[in-house]
Amino acid sequence: MAAAGARAAPAATGGRTWANPLDIDYRYNYEQMNQGISYRTGADPAFVRYGNAYYLFLTLADGYWRSTDLLHWQFVQPDRWPFDGPVAPATLVADGKLFLMSSAMEPRPLLYSTDPAHGRWQFWTRLLPAVPGAVWAGHESEMKAGELPPGPWDPGLFRDEDGRTYLYWDSSNVFPLYGAQIDLALDRADEGEGKRMAFVTKPAALLKADPAAHGWERFGQDHADTRIAPFLEGAWMNRHGDRYYLQYAAPGTEYNAYATGVYVGSNPLGPFTYAPYNPVGYKPGGFATGAGHGSTFQDAYGNWWNSGTMWVGLNWTFERRIELFPAGFHADGQMWVDTRFGDFPQRMPDHALGEGESTFTGWMLLSYRKSAHASSQLPEHPPSAVTDENPRTFWAAASNTAGQTLTLDLGGPRTVRAVQVDYADYRSGRYGDAPDIVTRFRLDGSADGRRWTTLADLSHETRDRPNAYLELDHPARIRYLRYVHGHVGARTLAISDLRVFGNADGPPPPAPVLVSARRLADTRDAEVVWQPVPGAVGYNVRWGLAADRLHETYQRFADQPARLTLHALNKGVAYVVAVEAFDERGVSTLSRIAPLRP
């Protein structure tokens, strides 16, 4: 029977929105199986457009994903693949072929495909050339002046408009990022898999970390651990106009502050100049934190996108997910990545976006700190954890049986448009793919808590969905949302967050009053203070080089202090900063904009 005021909707499969982390079937990792540590993960995304489709390659995925719309992804099992799975793979489209290179500490094969949709791959060469001047793995301590570390680890491939190909690489908190021109031997395709490629130029050191000047390159949670030197990794190159944008990740994947930086030059191998607006991709706050080590690419409409790696870190340091953000370039060459509301629903465009056009749907978070109850629970893992926007806390049911329920009270009637079910791995006991690793559940809605309507039904789902995002076909006017369990492949049913999106009735909140904004004695840091807005769910502290370029965002929830110390600034760079409030109704206008002088 339909609940009063509720509108029924089947499972949404054809929606045009998504929410980070991306809803793909992340794979169970095998590396810690002998320690009994089980978790799903995905990291270091390389997106590439080939033919009429997009392909997504991740670290240790034993395959890859294909999509025609960047929303719905199908896993592809390849017929030939590196035995131990590629780490931080590099992709390149050249001469009608899709190339794939894995991270390596010694020469490895280079694969290519002209039919990646069906998983058909061949060897382009059975063995890539050794990096000139590099020592063998395990001999780093014996390196002499002028020698290079083993590699290429974390490779990035780039083909310029003149047909020349370049390789960028390394992942280290000791060594710089390197680059060199290589010969892909495209004119010798008839030699088959025995063709010999070559380095055309000697590898050159292109950039290194400078945390003394770049606050965001400092290691640790919110850049607070100065005992460890920052890691530089994940090189990716794009050309836009006559400028070359060498992107890199820092300071380390295992914290919220993992970000993307960029150096800009007029040639593929530099010299490069540090961009004062760094980090270009940065998301230290909210549910999905971290935005480093990804790729930048254009869609079929010419829109730019940047992907990144989200930190989970519940079971293992390198337990991660992936994200996708709008990106682009200003007319003067400044690169930007938009992470504002980066883990709220975004609308995938079906056209070329105009200047300043946002992909944010305006659907707000309705579930933060809301009351939750469950049919059962394990000690120390209560249902209240599913509304705290923290992927490292979770509800665990007493048994992984069909019919277990998890119910949220949204506090009053709300217009619900989308739901994201984020599972946690807790004593999952899985270390690789298997036929029974699928996700099945049903979502019910109610206006009064007694009469329920089905909002979405995944009872017959055939793939795993650790971060299942469901856009409802029609908005549902409800107060209560209920998750009804069907099946997961893990031994334990555990959910980190049940995230509900839509809107409450009424106007958006007023703009917060910015009390003060000042650079600290260490000018890599600044303190921003504002007055709390009654009823606010949270705030976005936004800063950048100009009032119309507030591209950096730190999201902070309203149950935290109304002050924030930013640790991501560059010495000698002038910024401006402002704060906006958001609640379940919408987003405020900006506070006054204040300078942050160097």
* Mean pLDDT in residue range 500-505: 98
Residue 163 pLDDT class (50, 70, 90 cuts): very high
Q: Which of 462, 481, 503 is the last residue of a domain?
A: 503
Rounded to 5 degrees, what angle do the CA atoms 235, 349, 546 make? 60
- Alpha-carbon distance values, 328 to 18, 267, 298, 334 (Å): 19, 20, 9, 8
Residue 37: half-sphere exposure toward Cβ, Cα within 13 Å? 12
> Tokens 């060469």 — which residue?
125
Whether residue 484 is found in the same domain as residue 543:
no
Report cis status (omega within 30 of 0) of the bond before 510.
no
Dump pLDDT digits (tens) for 419-436.
Answer: 999 999 999 999 999 999
Q: Is 560 exposed, middle or buried (0-12, 13-18, 19+ CB in 10 A)?
A: exposed
Cα(346)–Cα(37) distance, integer angstroms: 33
Cα(157)–Cα(166) distance, integer angstroms: 6
Looking up residue 564, the CATH number of its domain turns out to be 2.60.40.10
* Mean pLDDT in residue range 93-100: 98
Whether residue 248 is found in the same domain as residue 371:
no
- Domain-embedded: residue 15: no
Per the structure, the count of domains in the chain is: 3
Whether residue 229 is found in the same domain as residue 272:
yes
List, in sequence order, every residue forming a beta bridge with 442; answer none if it has no partner.
457, 484
Whether residue 324 is found in the same domain as residue 279:
yes
- Domain-embedded: residue 173: yes
- Domain-embedded: residue 3: no
- Domain-embedded: residue 281: yes
With beta carbons less than 8 A apart as the criterion, state whether 395 and 374 touch: yes
Percent of the chain with pLDDT strictly greater than 90: 95
With beta carbons less than 8 A apart as the criterion, state whether 83 and 108 touch: no
Whether residue 493 is found in the same domain as residue 464:
yes
Dump pLDDT digits (tens) for 383-404.
Answer: 999 999 999 999 999 999 999 9
- What does the pLDDT read at residue 2? 32
Looking up residue 281, the CATH number of its domain turns out to be 2.115.10.20
Of the chain, the end-to-end C-alpha distance in Å amounts to 63
> How many secondary structure helices (H) and strands (E) does the chain include?
0, 41
Res 12 pLDDT > 70:
no
- What does the pLDDT read at residue 8? 30
Q: 6 vs 63, which has greater pLDDT?
A: 63
Contacts of 489 (CB under 8 A, 6+ apart): 428, 430, 434, 436, 437, 438, 439, 464
- Domain-embedded: residue 359: no
- What does the pLDDT read at residue 359? 98
* Mean pLDDT in residue range 96-122: 96
Percent of the chain with pLDDT strictly greater than 70: 98
Dump pLDDT digits (tens) for 289-315.
Answer: 999 999 999 999 999 999 999 999 999
Q: Identify each DSSP E strand in 387-493 by its residue range.
A: 395-396, 405-423, 440-446, 453-457, 467-487
- Domain-embedded: residue 509: no
> Tokens 């980090």 — which residue?
279
Whether residue 498 is found in the same domain as residue 567:
no
Whether residue 466 is found in the same domain as residue 525:
no
* Mean pLDDT in residue range 143-152: 94
- Domain-embedded: residue 268: yes
Cα(209)–Cα(172) distance, integer angstroms: 10
- What does the pLDDT read at residue 15? 78
Q: What is the mean pLDDT of the chain?
A: 96
Q: Which of 443, 475, 503 is the last residue of a domain?
A: 503
Residue 6 pLDDT class (50, 70, 90 cuts): very low
Whether residue 434 is found in the same domain as residue 583:
no
Which backbone phi and psi does 73 adopt, to 5 degrees?
Answer: -115, 135
Whether residue 285 is found in the same domain as residue 390:
no
Q: Which of 464, 479, 503 is the last residue of a domain?
A: 503
Whether residue 566 is found in the same domain as residue 496:
no
If DSSP codes are grouped into helix, strand and coil, which group holds residue 226? coil
Whether residue 121 is found in the same domain as residue 47:
yes
- Domain-embedded: residue 453: yes
The tokens describing 541, both together, are 């502290």
Res 84 pLDDT > 90:
no
Contacts 24+ apart (CB under 8 A), 268-272: 268/158, 268/160, 268/164, 268/166, 268/179, 268/181, 268/237, 268/239, 268/244, 269/166, 269/179, 269/180, 269/181, 269/201, 269/204, 269/206, 270/179, 270/204, 270/206, 270/246, 272/206, 272/207, 272/244, 272/246
With beta carbons less than 8 A apart as the criterion, state whether 386 and 496 touch: yes
- What does the pLDDT read at residue 14? 54
- What does the pLDDT read at residue 1? 29
Looking up residue 447, the CATH number of its domain turns out to be 2.60.120.260
Give the domain extent around 387. Answer: 364-503
Res 13 pLDDT > 80:
no
Whether residue 484 is found in the same domain as residue 540:
no
